Amino acid sequence: MRNKTLILMLLFFALLMTPVGAGAQSKADVVDGEGHQWWQHAVFYEIYPRSFADSNNDGVGDLKGITSKLDYLKDLGVDAIWITPCFPSPQVDFGYDVSDYENIDPMYGTLADFDNLVSGAKNRDIRVILDFVVNHSSDQHKWFMDSKSSRTSEKRDWYIWRDGKGPGKPPNNWVSTFGGPAWTFDPSTHQYYYHFFYAEQPDLNWRNPAVKDAMFDVSRWWYKRGVAGFRLDAVDTLFEDPGLYDNPIVGSGKNAYGDPIEENKSNTKLPEVHDALRGLRKVADESGAVLIGETWTKDVAELKQYYGEHSNELQMPMDLMLTKLTFSAPVFRQHIAGIDGAGGWPVYVISNHDIVRSYDRYGDGQHNDQIAKVMAALYLTLRGTPILYYGEEIGMKTTPPTRKEDVKDPIGQRGWPKEKGRDGERTPMQWDGSENAGFSKATPWLPVPPAYKTHNVAAEAQQPDSVLEFYKKVLKLRHTNRALLDGSYTPLHESDQNVFSYLRSYKGEVVLVALNMSASPQKVNFELGKNGFSSANSLLATPQSAAQGNTLTLEPYGVFIGQLSH
Ligand code: GLC
């Protein structure tokens, strides 16, 4: 009897001592009575670690730098940060060539620095998302080194090896998206290996169950360390048709690298991608983690597939089509209607480390700050989760190199001058007006754009009408207004060529958002009375935009966000 009591007591204490969930979110982590998950109410922020903040003044950003800016992110209204790859890497593709999936590159710090970052973030209610490069590893990864060592090595089949069609002839006509053939010959084993990206980024063979399991285990390893989810890199390219058919050539032209233009029919978007995503999701669900996808899709129907037929693939496939639209009310209206109606939770992105920044993509050269505010008011008030790219909130400009010898991104070196590479959208974060924009005391790895003098965090924090202050206000509103968080989306005035307007409605609370996407002042009659409302009370508006009775006046590129009342 005594022994039994003792055993029970020991069991009880053992239970008390068991670490719970080690930081990743549990399945029950819903934020309201309607079952919304934390990521549906969260604002995400993408950090390119090389360029965010340099704590050890070697010219390259690092994890301690990110940790030192957590208060800034909290104050801005960020709930989750996605850090692009910070794992050990030869840095051929600046981290997207991973040589060890379960460590931190010394250039960014240590695993202890990572743990500090996660706990510092947790103290501020900020979650950490990592970037999982699932399609390929670095050619310096021990898996590939083994795979390459002989035709009979244990990991030979972890990558895609094939015989050529004859001397000097690769297995088929596939070209790498980063230029040149997608096959590289290995003279010691006399076979070619496949790489959708650079030759230093060999594709993993996802048809091999051992590869799949190893990758699932990598994700588990990080979930246990407190990671709240992953952004999955280049998911489209996970599988290739085993028949290795030539890709069709489109037209007779050449791309920036001098290669024929191919339709990637046999090496992208194979149906098996969805099996892999379901597998990754199953593992994510063990920890209540979220999966974001780098989902380049041609239309909404294709995007829809990434949620999974039973919502069992990606919770957050990114709407990257949004980054390709021209700045126009009818164009945006049509696109948003499609995404909002797709049946999943939308994920809006207007910039990232691979594409020209939104500030100058949409800017007309004269009203760029105003246009940046219109874009902020748009993607931060739609139904769905926004992902900000660092620097968008201060109106950072794309600043590409002007001379080939300054180019760092190998795509730019290879494709110059047609393709200048992605350096322009990866320049250091502009913290203040001091030398190197407060990013580093050493010369930064990429030059700081001259615009840092006017567009930086410190200066903009002092100007009530800055892009930064506008972002902060919209984000604050978004976090506190139920209609903006969960309300349905209803477009208004659908034939208006200049003003994009919509309602967000939640249980009788209605918010009107009106965005003048033109360079001339606009007046819109919303006939509030007819729709059962008596007034629109401003929640946030640009200086000369206001509602009076039924009429809304908007300055050029003006924004009005107002609560409708009966
Ligand atoms: C993704 C990344 C990009 C990288 C590529 C290869 O598209 O966003 O930066 O170069 O994958 O990993």
Does residue 235 line the site of ligand 1, with CB under 6 A? no
What does the pLDDT read at residue 476? 98
Does residue 425 line the site of ligand 1, with CB under 6 A? no
What does the pLDDT read at residue 5? 53
Q: Which of 251-260, 359-368, 501-510, 520-529 is predicted least confidently? A: 520-529
Average pLDDT over residues 224-234: 98
Q: Supply the residue whose CA is at minimum distance from atom 2 of ligand 1.
A: 233
Tokens of 447: 């030059």
Closest CA to 370 of 477, 475, 516, 500: 516
Q: Supply the residue whose CA is at minimum distance from atom 11 of ligand 1.
A: 234
Pairing between strand 546-548 and 183-186?
A: unpaired
Q: What is the DSSP string of 380-442?
A: TTSSSEEEEETTGGGT------SSGGG--SHHHHHHTTT---SGGGSPPP---SSGGGGS-SS
- Report the separation in Å between the CA atom of 540 and the middle of ligand 1, taken as the mean of its atom positions: 37
Asked if 557 contacts 516 with a C-beta cutoff of 8 angstroms, the reply is: yes
Q: Which atom of ligand 1 is nearest to the CA of 352?
A: 8
- Rounded to 10°, the helix 272-286/209-224 angle is 30
Q: Which amino acid is at 423?
A: D
Asked if 363 contacts 517 with a C-beta cutoff of 8 angstroms, the reply is: no
pLDDT > 90? residue 245 = yes
Q: Which amino acid is at 362?
A: Y
Closest CA to 374 of 351, 358, 391: 358
Q: Supply the residue whose CA is at minimum distance from atom 3 of ligand 1.
A: 354
What does the pLDDT read at residue 3? 54
Cα angle at 304 between 223 and 86, to 5 degrees?
A: 30
- Can you say whether the dihedral through the CA atoms of 495, 501, 506, 511 is positive or negative? negative
Q: Which amino acid is at 510?
A: V
Average pLDDT over residues 74-87: 98
Does residue 204 line the site of ligand 1, with CB under 6 A? no
Does residue 353 line the site of ligand 1, with CB under 6 A? yes
pLDDT > 80? residue 143 = yes
Asked if 511 contacts 503 with a C-beta cutoff of 8 angstroms, the reply is: yes
**Rounded Cα–Cα distance for residues 233 and 218 (Å):** 14
421: left (phi over 0), alpha (psi -120 to 50) or beta: left
Banded model confidence at residue 193, pLDDT cuts 50, 70, 90: very high
By annotation, the residues acting in catalysis are 233, 286
What is the per-residue pLDDT across 372-401, written as a single tens digit (0 to 9) for each?
Answer: 999 999 999 999 999 999 999 999 999 999
pLDDT > 60? residue 8 = no
Pocket residue to mutate for ligand 1, from 133, 141, 233, 423, most atoms within 8 A of Cβ:
233
Does residue 354 line the site of ligand 1, with CB under 6 A? yes
Banded model confidence at residue 11, pLDDT cuts 50, 70, 90: very low
CB neighbourhood size of 190 (10 A) = 10
**Rounded Cα–Cα distance for residues 260 and 538 (Å):** 54
What does the pLDDT read at residue 30? 85
Q: Supply the residue whose CA is at minimum distance from atom 12 of ligand 1.
A: 96
In 3-state terms the chain splits into helix, strand, coil percentages (rounded to 5) of 35, 20, 50
Strand segments, DSSP code E, in 434-556 are 488-492, 499-506, 509-516, 522-525, 535-541, 546-548, 551-554
pTM attached to this predicted model: 0.94
**Rounded Cα–Cα distance for residues 295 and 376 (Å):** 22
Strands laid side by side in the 229-232 sheet: 316-317, 290-293, 229-232, 127-132, 80-83, 44-47, 385-389, 347-349
Q: Which atom of ligand 1 is nearest to the CA of 178?
A: 10
- Rounded to 10°, the helix 467-480/368-379 angle is 10
Q: Which atom of ligand 1 is nearest to the CA of 93?
A: 10
pLDDT > 50? residue 16 = no
**Rounded Cα–Cα distance for residues 564 and 66 (Å):** 40
pLDDT > 70? residue 27 = no
Q: Supply the residue whose CA is at minimum distance from atom 7 of ligand 1.
A: 234
Banded model confidence at residue 23, pLDDT cuts 50, 70, 90: very low
The residue whose two tokens read 């360029």 is 51
pLDDT > 70? residue 22 = no
